[in-house]
Amino acid sequence: MTQRGILAFSGGLDTSVVVKYLQEEYDMEVITVTVDVGQGDDQKEIEAKAKKLGVIKHYNIDARKEFVEDFIFPSIKANALYQKKYCLATALARPLIAQKVLEIAKKENVTALAHGCSGKGNDQVRFDITLRSGSDLPIIAPIRDKNLDRDTELIFAKKHGIEIDSVAKRFSIDQNLWGRAIEGGVLEDPYNEPPEDAFIWVKTKNLPDTPTYMEIKFDKGIPVAVDGQVMEPIKLIEYVNKIAGEAGVGIVDHIEDRVVGIKSREVYETPGATCLIEAHADLEKMVHTKHENKFKSIIDDEWAYLAYSGLWQDPLKQDLDAFIEKSQNPVSGIVKLKLYKSSLRVVGRKSEYSLYNHKIATYSSESTFDQRMAKGFVELWGIQSTEAIKLQKKLSKKI
């Protein structure tokens, strides 16, 4: 029986090498699937690349709307930043891409599922777990299975006439609507400052001398309008990416703990995500109680951890989703951002669900808050702490 493999194909170095490997080393017919999650590639060009590599069939799937509505929006609701920094752009796209591959795999009666992930990264975890949750077919990952490194891949690509563009030779890039990840090359020394030309989305030079203001309107945790203009989800994210990028906002550079335990230096351009998460988190503080704020930040951290770690469909993640969804009921309002020479600051917020009460908060004569109530409260609030501190002092004198 002819072996037939299906592969999520980006047209980049790894997945191009994998097509050839599947054909030559595994003696397979290959079907490629390119899932558009807003990476901005020319789909026709990628299809041509796949055909040139000799695939028997190629699929192009536009999953941008699903990506925004079912992955990006929930991540905004969760203020999702892995290790407080990374907006999960790559991590969110992988389960969706794998899901699309599975759908076509069923239709095409394939005998194996393939991906181009290495054994060092997180993407293998996200792909394997999603694929395994929906199929028992063997998973083939030639880069991992054959322990291939990038240098060997580049030589292999050259030998097989696979064209790789010059940026891809210097860095390993992954991008979609939610962000652009830049890895490898000179960035592998964590002390090296990223070269300016690594950045495409965020301006680093000749930034405007006047601040840029952006007013983001949320409805139940979802951004629906910017600067008074209601926008479709995809357009809205593209717009915020563009405006924030032009103001120099959205570069992230940090050391990240991968699922497999390796520490990696990651550089990202995430202008839209940086602004939207900052604005959303700020609005939540205004409409949620102190108790909700404290507890939700724990939930948010766990949500980001699970999404990062390939456990998108885990029951715990579903439970957290239910909590987060319910918590978004009052998260409606407008947040005003000020962007100036790469800095981002929330400078205003308003909401009909605001728990901020001017009459209570004000230091002026308009105050309705009777300060005398506070005395007894503070006494009780600190009762155990003050007892413990006094006791510690007493006992330490004895020693």
Are the C-beta atoms of residues 296 and 325 closer than 8 Å to each other? Answer: no
Q: Which of 29, 47, 128, 256 binds ligand ARG (CB under 6 A)?
A: 256
User: Taking CB under 6 A as the rule, does residue 183 contact ligand ARG?
Assistant: yes
- Residue 266 φ/ψ, nearest 5 degrees: -120, 135
Choice among 4, 14, 64, 332 that is catalytic: 14
Q: Which of 153, 174, 278, 282 binds ligand ARG (CB under 6 A)?
A: 174
Known catalytic residue: 123?
yes
User: Taking CB under 6 A as the rule, does residue 269 contact ligand ARG?
Assistant: no
CB 163, min distance to ligand ARG, A: 19
Tell me the three state secondary structure of residue 392.
Answer: helix
Listed as own residue / partner, the contacts of 205-211 with beta carbons closer than 8 Å and 24 or more positions apart are 207/247, 207/248, 207/341, 207/342, 208/246, 208/247, 208/341, 211/247, 211/338, 211/339, 211/340
Nearer to ligand ARG, 274 or 328 (CB): 274
Choice among 4, 64, 94, 126 that is catalytic: 94
Q: Which of 97, 177, 181, 273 binds ligand ARG (CB under 6 A)?
A: 181
Structure tokens at 58: 């190629």
β-pairing verdict for 333-340 and 263-269: unpaired
Nearer to ligand ARG, 59 or 308 (CB): 308
Q: How far is CA 229 from CA 68, 77, 216, 222, 329, in A?
A: 18, 21, 9, 14, 22
CB 379, min distance to ligand ARG, A: 49
CB 210, min distance to ligand ARG, A: 34
Nearest residue to 219 via CA among 67, 78, 73: 73
CB 72, min distance to ligand ARG, A: 14
User: Taking CB under 6 A as the rule, does residue 176 contact ligand ARG?
Assistant: no
Nearest residue to 234 via CA among 42, 36, 98, 41: 36
CB atoms within 10 A of CB 362: 12
Choice among 123, 174, 282, 300 that is catalytic: 123
Nearer to ligand ARG, 28 or 306 (CB): 306
User: Taking CB under 6 A as the rule, does residue 123 contact ligand ARG?
Assistant: yes
User: Taking CB under 6 A as the rule, does residue 122 contact ligand ARG?
Assistant: yes
Choice among 16, 172, 309, 351 that is catalytic: 172
Are the C-beta atoms of residues 307 and 80 closer than 8 Å to each other? Answer: yes
Nearest residue to 28 via CA among 137, 136, 162: 137
Known catalytic residue: 300?
no
Nearer to ligand ARG, 29 or 183 (CB): 183
The whole-angstrom separation of Cα 267 and Cα 283 is: 27
Nearer to ligand ARG, 28 or 125 (CB): 125
CB 200, min distance to ligand ARG, A: 15
User: Taking CB under 6 A as the rule, does residue 172 contact ligand ARG?
Assistant: yes
Query: Which active-site residues does the annotation give?
Result: 14, 94, 123, 172
Residues that bind ligand ARG (CB under 6 A): 90-91, 122-123, 172, 174, 181, 183, 256, 266
